[in-house]
Chains A and B, each alone.
Chain A
Amino acid sequence: MTPLLSVRDIRKTYGAFVGCTDVSFDLYPGEVMGIVGESGSGKSTLLNCLAGHLAPDSGEVLFDTRAEGLRDTVTMSEPERRMLGRTDWAFVHQNPRDGLRMGVSAGGNVGERLMAVGARNYGAIRESATDWLGRVEIADNRIDDRPSAFSGGMQQRLQIARNLVTGPRLVFMDEPTGGLDVSVQARLLDLMRGLVREMGLSAIIVTHDLAVVRLLAHRLMVMKSGHVVEAGLTDQVLDDPQHAYTQLLVSSVLQV
C-alpha cells in the first residue's frame, strides 16, 4: 500500500537554533496522526514544513498526488504546491482569524476555495456552501453573516467547512481546539471525528492537549526540542509511556 504522505529526515533550523530535525514517518490513507509536545518543541515548525508554508533545510516530503503518484512537495514548483494547497490539502489554523477572511460572509468564505479551482456558477457555489454549513452545524440563516459576528467555536467550524469543501485528502490541523472552552471543544471534536470517518480523511493534528489526540488520533508522535522522542499507537503511547518526557507529559494532565 502506498503511503499518502511519506516524510524523510526533515530538518529545519533557525540560524543556530534547531526547529525540528530527523523527522521521518509514513501516513497512510484514512489515518490520523497526532503530534504532541510542549510549546517550542518544534511541532508547528514541522507542520508548516509538511504543509509547504516553510521550506525545510533538508529532507523530503513525498505526497501521493492524484496524477503522478509520489512527488516531493519540497522541490515541486510553487504553482503546483499552491494548487495542492487548495485542492488535496487543507490547513486548519489555531486561530480562525488566520484561516478565514473576516470581511467576507460565511458563504463567501466556504465558496472561495471552489471559486479558486474554477467554479463559476453562483447557484452551485451557494448550494455547496449551504450544504457545508449544515454539515458543520451552522444554521442556514447565518450564511450571509460575517465571521466576525460568529462565536469562537462557530468560527472554527466555519474554518473547517471552508477547508473541506473541495474534498481534500489530507488535512493539517494546528491546535484546532486551542482557545475554545471545554464544552465547545467536545462538540468540535465530535464533529471532526465524524467528518474524518465519513470522508475517509487523513489528518495530521498538532496539539498540546492529550485528550484531543486520545479521541482523534490513531498514531502519535511525541516531540521535544525538535526531536521525535517517542512514536507509536496512541493508546500504547499514552497508557505505557517509555520516554521520560512522555511520562512527564502524561502525568501532568490534570484530573478532575
Chain B
Amino acid sequence: MTDYNFAYLDEQTKRMIRRAILKGVAIPGYQVPFASREMPMPYGWGTGGVQVSAACLTPDDTFKVIDQGADDTTNAVSIRKFFERTAQVATTEHTREASVIQTRHRIPEEPLGEDQILVYQVPIPEPLRFLEPRETETRKMHSLEEYGLMHVKLYEDIARHGHIATSYAYPVKVEGRYVMDPSPIPKFDNPKLEMAAIQLFGAGREQRIYAIPPYTKVVSLDFEDHPFEPSKADHPCDLCGADHTYLDEVIVDDAGGRMFVCSDTDYCAGRQAAGHRGRLSEEDAA
C-alpha cells in the first residue's frame, strides 16, 4: 500500500506535532496548542491520540492499542488496523512487547519501561473547563498558577456526597506547577502516572498536546482532611483471581448475576495462562 505516506500524516505535519510534543515534554503538564488535522475517523474516537502516535511511530516499532483496558473493542481494533494499513508496523496485544501504546481511559497494569511510549486519547484537556468556561480565563489561571478553583470542584464533591466522588479524570499537579487532566483514566490509575515510560496526551478536537516525562512527580489534588484514595471495586477478578487490578463489572443475566473481571484484558489473559484462577473460571481451561 503506497498511496499513503508512512503513518498516514505527511512529514510536515508530523514534524509540527513532534515540535509540540517536545515543547510539552519540556514543560510537563502544559497544554501546547497544535494544528490538529482532520483524521479519517470522528472526533471522540481518538483523533488526538492517533496523530501523536503517527508522529512517534517508526517502521521498527511494535504498536498496541487499548480501549478501556481491552485490546478487542471497536475503537482499539480500528485504530490498530489503521496503523497496520498506513504504516505497516507490527502490532501486538502484549503490553511488554509494545514500544508505542495508544490508550483510551486506562494505564496498563503491567509496569511500563523506559523504552516505551504511552499515548493517551484526551477528550477535554482543560481540567478547569467545567468550572470556568472561558478559555482566555483558564489560560490566565494556568499561567498565574491560580488553581483554587480546582479545589472548589472537590469541595462540591464532598459537600454533595460526603467524600471526593470524582472517580475518573481526577486532577493532578505535575512537577509542582501545572494542574493537568490525566484524561478519563480511573483514579485507581493516578498513582501509576509516575512511571518510567514517557506519557503523551493528544486532544484532537481541542487541538492540545501535553506530556509527562519519565519519573516526573505527579500529585493528585486533595484536602488535608479528605486525602486522595485510589479506588476500585472491592472484589477479586472472577477469571484470574487478581485482587490488585482495576475491575469491570459485567451483568451476566437478568436475575442480578454479575461478575467482576480485570479491565486490562492482556494482563488478565497473562495471569490465566500462568495458572491463576478466579471464581468463575472453567475448571478444564487449564
Q: Which residues of A contact B (CB under 8 A)?
A: 78-79, 82, 86, 101, 103-105, 107-108, 111-118, 120-123, 125-126, 143-144
When chains A and B are docked, how far (Å) is the Cα of A131 from the Cα of B148?
A: 20
Known: A101-B131, A104-B156, A105-B159. A121 touches B144 (CB 8 A): no
Contact A144 B160 (CB under 8 A): yes
- Collect the chain A residues with CB atoms within 8 Å of residue B148's CB: 86, 112-118
Residue with the highest number of chain B CB atoms closer than 10 Å, among A112, A113, A120: A120
Confirm or deny: B224 has a beta carbon within 8 angstroms of a beta carbon on chain A.
Answer: yes
Residues from 124 to 158 in B contacting A, C-beta threshold 8 Å: 130-131, 144, 146, 148-149, 151-152, 155-156, 158
Confirm or deny: B96 has a beta carbon within 8 angstroms of a beta carbon on chain A.
Answer: no
- Collect the chain B residues with CB atoms within 8 Å of residue A112's CB: 148-149, 152
- Collect the chain A residues with CB atoms within 8 Å of residue B146's CB: 82, 116
Q: How many residues of B contact A (CB 8 A)?
A: 17
When chains A and B are docked, how far (Å) is the Cα of A114 from the Cα of B152?
A: 10
Confirm or deny: B226 has a beta carbon within 8 angstroms of a beta carbon on chain A.
Answer: yes
- Collect the chain B residues with CB atoms within 8 Å of residue A108's CB: 152, 155-156, 159
Confirm or deny: B225 has a beta carbon within 8 angstroms of a beta carbon on chain A.
Answer: yes
Q: A114-B148, A116-B149, A122-B224 are in contact. List 4 more A-B contacts (CB 8 A).
A: A104-B131, A107-B155, A107-B159, A115-B149
Tell me the nearest residue of chain B to A125, going by C-beta: B155
Known: A79-B144, A122-B158, A144-B160. A104 touches B225 (CB 8 A): no
Contact B144 A144 (CB under 8 A): no
Confirm or deny: B223 has a beta carbon within 8 angstroms of a beta carbon on chain A.
Answer: yes
When chains A and B are docked, how far (Å) is the Cα of A86 from the Cα of B149?
A: 12
- Collect the chain A residues with CB atoms within 8 Å of residue B130's CB: 103
Residues from 147 to 181 in B contacting A, C-beta threshold 8 Å: 148-149, 151-152, 155-156, 158-160
When chains A and B are docked, how far (Å) is the Cα of A125 from the Cα of B159?
A: 11
Tell me the nearest residue of chain B to A107, going by C-beta: B159
- Collect the chain A residues with CB atoms within 8 Å of residue B160's CB: 105, 144
Contact B223 A122 (CB under 8 A): yes
- Collect the chain A residues with CB atoms within 8 Å of residue B226's CB: 122
When chains A and B are docked, how far (Å) is the Cα of A105 from the Cα of B153?
A: 10
**How many whole Å from B142's CB to the nearest CB in chain A?**
12
Contact B144 A111 (CB under 8 A): no
- Collect the chain A residues with CB atoms within 8 Å of residue B144's CB: 78-79, 82
When chains A and B are docked, how far (Å) is the Cα of A112 from the Cα of B150?
A: 9
**How many whole Å from A109's CB to the nearest CB in chain B?**
8
Known: A82-B144, A82-B146, A120-B151. A105 touches B224 (CB 8 A): no
Contact A122 B131 (CB under 8 A): no
- Collect the chain A residues with CB atoms within 8 Å of residue B151's CB: 115, 120
**How many whole Å from A84's CB to the nearest CB in chain B?**
13
- Collect the chain B residues with CB atoms within 8 Å of residue A116's CB: 146, 148-149
**How many whole Å from B131's CB to the nearest CB in chain A?**
7
- Collect the chain A residues with CB atoms within 8 Å of residue B131's CB: 101, 103-104
- Collect the chain B residues with CB atoms within 8 Å of residue A86's CB: 148
Return 6 A-B CB contacts under 8 Å, by A number.
A86-B148, A104-B152, A112-B149, A121-B224, A122-B223, A123-B225
**How many whole Å from A100's CB to the nearest CB in chain B?**
12
Tell me the nearest residue of chain B to A117, going by C-beta: B148
Known: A78-B144, A104-B131, A144-B159. A111 touches B152 (CB 8 A): yes
**How many whole Å from A166's CB to the nearest CB in chain B?**
11
When chains A and B are docked, how far (Å) is the Cα of A114 from the Cα of B58?
A: 50
- Collect the chain A residues with CB atoms within 8 Å of residue B159's CB: 105, 107-108, 126, 143-144
- Collect the chain B residues with CB atoms within 8 Å of residue A126's CB: 159
Residues from 175 to 231 in B contacting A, C-beta threshold 8 Å: 223-226
- Collect the chain B residues with CB atoms within 8 Å of residue A122's CB: 155, 158, 223-226
**How many whole Å from B138's CB to the nearest CB in chain A?**
14
Residue with the highest number of chain A CB atoms closer than 10 Å, among B131, B149, B159, B223: B159
Contact B225 A115 (CB under 8 A): no
**How many whole Å from B177's CB to the nearest CB in chain A?**
14
When chains A and B are docked, how far (Å) is the Cα of A181 from the Cα of B146?
A: 37
**How many whole Å from A149's CB to the nearest CB in chain B?**
14
When chains A and B are docked, how far (Å) is the Cα of A78 from the Cα of B149?
A: 18
Contact A105 B149 (CB under 8 A): no
When chains A and B are docked, how far (Å) is the Cα of A120 from the Cα of B148?
A: 9
**How many whole Å from B11's CB to the nearest CB in chain A?**
40
**How many whole Å from A115's CB to the nearest CB in chain B?**
4
